[in-house]
Amino acid sequence: MSYAKYGPWAVIAGGSEGVGAEFARLLAGAGVNLVLVARKPGPLAATASDCRRLGVEVRTLATDLVDPSAVHAVVAETVGLEVGLFVYNAGANTCSAEFLDADLTDFQRVIDLNITTMVALVQHFGRAMRDRRRGGILLVGSMSGYLGSVRHTVYGGVKAYSRIFAEGLWLELRDSGVDVLELVLGVTRTPAMQRVGLNFDVPGMRVADPADVAREGLDQLGHGPVYIAGGNADDVARRNDPDRAKVVAGAHRMMQRLMGLK
């Protein structure tokens, strides 16, 4: 598939490492110019350098996307650019605690990163795409959004929101020439997942590679509204069983092993 149809510019929020960096490399290889947004300047600069070597123009913006000024900063950085693709890959669980044991301000950061900033940027870039009748919006989701989990009470909720939001947006834009996709990730060997100490060696655990996941997402962008990456479709189907107590309790045992708690 030619990703150049989503040019001439793509904005990748969370574009410095892991799946976001792989999106950037794939798009740069197709000749799409990039605006990379992330919190850490070091990895951001490294990925930008990789992409410039592929012959495209790259702008970088080091900002924390939970900061109230972040949306304005991204908008200002892209003034005058024809953004044909917006990728929102910034959605880590920044507060992995049981709900009653953490401050609401910490959980608010999870909500702002995964919902508040995301919807503001989608609306901004989506309006211009709709007017041009061309473009793509790719939101990176999580299998956590399909069931409740200990220490993921808020995170699971915001990821469920992202998927439902993408489905509705896909319906609204499906006749406008704008593609919408929620790319649902399972366990993926990214720096972010490594930093939280996930146990990738749990027997039976399917672990995806970031480059493979990014390629799946771009290849499926025109076939929304939702795509389950990494060969996890059957597992997601099981999570939709109407017996929620059975599903949640069963997944809890695997999650405990994944997080190294048992």
Write the pLDDT tens digit of every residue in 95-132: 889 999 999 999 999 999 999 999 999 999 999 999 99
- The pTM assigned to this predicted structure is 0.92
Cα–Cα distance for residue pair 13/191, rounded to 1 Å: 16
- Residue pLDDT, tens place only, 206-225: 888 999 999 999 999 999 99
Cα–Cα distance for residue pair 221/23, rounded to 1 Å: 12
Give pLDDT, residue 252: 72
Give pLDDT, residue 207: 84
| Residue 13, φ and ψ in degrees, nearest 5 | -85, 125
Locate 46 and state its tokens: 């490294």
155-165 CB burial, b ≥16 within 10 A, e <16 = bbbbbbbbbeb
pLDDT band at 187 (very low <50, low <70, confident <90, very high): confident
β-sheet with 178-185: strand ranges across: 58-62, 33-38, 9-13, 83-88, 135-142, 178-185, 226-228
Among candidates 16, 72, 12, which has minimal Cα distance to 43?
Answer: 16
| Residue 249, φ and ψ in degrees, nearest 5 | -65, -40
Element spanning 110, H or E: helix 104-111
Residue 258 confidence (pLDDT) above 90: no
Lowest model confidence (mean pLDDT) among 67-81, 114-128, 183-197 = 183-197
pLDDT band at 203 (very low <50, low <70, confident <90, very high): low
Mean pLDDT on 19-48: 97
Contact between 173 and 126 under an 8 Å Cβ cutoff? The reply is: yes
Q: Which amino acid is residue 162, in one-letter code? A: S
- Residue pLDDT, tens place only, 221-246: 999 999 999 999 999 999 888 998 88
Between helices 153-173 and 117-132, what is the axis angle to 10°?
10
Identify whether 210 is preceded by a cis peptide bond (ω within 30 of 0): no
State the Cα angle at 60 between 187 and 135, rounded to 5°.
70
Lowest model confidence (mean pLDDT) among 40-49, 61-70, 91-100, 194-203 = 194-203
Cα–Cα distance for residue pair 95/152, rounded to 1 Å: 8
